[in-house]
């Protein structure tokens, strides 16, 4: 079972990866990735201030964060069996 810290780091890294896969760092005026994992509940909030489809990129980043955490748990479950 991954630790809460591993879950949060995995989600945040995945979200940031999506943001910077879509934008050069210099194009991003501001961004915020907030991840909490308490009592087995994952909450991800992503804000991106950049040109173009920033809201869509933020949504994609949040989904990627959730998917990365699901994969982390799948990997942990597979390793335990």
Q: Which is more confident, 71 or 77?
A: 71
- Alpha helical stretches, state H, 1-81: 4-22, 54-80
Per-domain residue ranges of the chain = 4-80
Q: Report residue 28: phi and psi, to 5°.
A: -90, 110
CATH number of 4-80: 3.30.300.100
Helix, strand, or coil (residue 37): strand
Q: What pLDDT sits at residue 80?
A: 79
pLDDT per residue as tens digits for the range 24-76: 999 999 999 999 999 999 999 999 999 999 999 999 999 999 999 999 999 88
Contacts of 66 (CB under 8 A, 6+ apart): 11, 42, 44
The pLDDT confidence band at residue 79, using thresholds 50, 70 and 90, is: confident
Is pLDDT of 81 > 80?
Answer: no
């Amino acid at each position: 079972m991954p630790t809460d810290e591993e879950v949060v780091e995995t989600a945040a890294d995945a979200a940031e990866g999506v943001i910077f896969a879509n934008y050069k760092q210099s194009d991003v005026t501001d961004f915020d990735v907030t991840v909490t994992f308490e009592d087995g509940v994952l909450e991800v909030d992503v804000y991106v201030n950049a040109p173009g489809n920033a809201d869509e990129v933020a949504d994609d980043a949040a989904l990627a964060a959730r998917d990365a955490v699901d994969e982390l748990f799948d990997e942990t479950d597979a390793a335990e069996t």
